[in-house]
Structure 1
């Protein structure tokens, strides 16, 4: 967590520099020296405000998660509260369009996922993000499938989002947002039909 007093203009600059360096050399090669050169600041500033690379990586992931949440929240605000199917699609789109598909963001996400398995703080951030996604989906599923099954369907959609995103991130052609929506909607439609005909 950045220390109080860091100029706000520096945080986005350092976050962007961190993502740029991770994109070029990967997480393990992303040294404080390379990041500070990319940002045009001294390594001492990063160490002072973030306590080193670990703290800067945490702030970078928080920034990505905040933007991710902001995009989805803004999309949901544009839709009526009872347009549950459309709101689920807004959540899907928020994972496959714009900021989330920029090369440096994708590579930082991948690094974050792998690193979070061994780092308690990054793992906590990942769990917060996962719980937020499941919560959003459950809210929208409440009138589409019977309540007891909404959690299971939410987990299914979340697994598809993560899996399709990961496959797209590792594909030289990138993430196909239209295909993602088609696959996930096919799953959702089948779940709605199945659970409403029990």
Structure 2
């Protein structure tokens, strides 16, 4: 009889092995056999849980984004006021579980994979919309109608840091990365809301 809970453990092990293999290869040029070996399970068992490599890659994407969503929720729960809540989202984006070499490599590969996989594209679309919505909700109270543009700028900066980290170019310490993002937000807040045209 299979042990209770072993399916979720093995699924998670295969997902983590996928992320590790992607980081080692620097691409999606990994096989189900390689992933199964890393996870310590048979190839047959890997195929029992995941139909094919694309299914496994999609599950890895979902797992990373679920972890990120959990971290954002926990960070927001302890934040007071819109500026602190924006900072909480920044901290979650740079948390050790997200901003580490293996996960960063996986993010970059997933972005490339989304160009040819509709499933991957949908998952990334959900992530980008949710991040933008969370940021806009808080920024609207700080910069008014400029919230949409400021949120887009902050998301682009976060993506840029991930790209640099993944490529190994101009890497920054976590604390420096946080200060860079926070200074951008602070400058945008200092600039105030959008100016409306005066009535004639």
State the TM-score, normalizing by the size of structure 1.
0.88
Query: Which runs of structure 2 are paired with 1:1-198 in the superposition (5 Å)?
Result: 7-80=7-80, 83-146=81-144, 148-171=145-168, 174-196=171-193, 198=195
Question: Deviation at 1:174?
Answer: 4.4
Structure 1: runs of 5 or more not aligned: none
Q: In 2, distance between residues paired with 1:175 and 1:112?
A: 22
Q: List per-residue Cα deviations over 1:116-146 (Å, max 9, x = no partner).
A: 1111100111111001100110111121011
Structure 2: runs of 5 or more not aligned: 196-200
Contact 2:143–2:194 (8 Å) recurs in 1: no
Q: In 2, distance between residues paired with 1:31 and 1:63?
A: 19
Q: In 2, distance between residues paired with 1:127 and 1:152?
A: 18
State the TM-score, normalizing by the size of structure 2.
0.87
Q: List per-residue Cα deviations over 1:69-105 (Å, max 9, x = no partner).
A: 101110101123xx11111111111111211122221
Distance 1:154 1:173, change over 3 A: closer
* SS of structure 2 residue aligned to 1:41: coil
- Paired residues in the alignment total 191
Which of structure 1's runs of 4+ aligned residues deviate more than 6 A? none
Distance 1:109 1:138, change over 3 A: same
Moved more, 179-188 or 154-163: 179-188
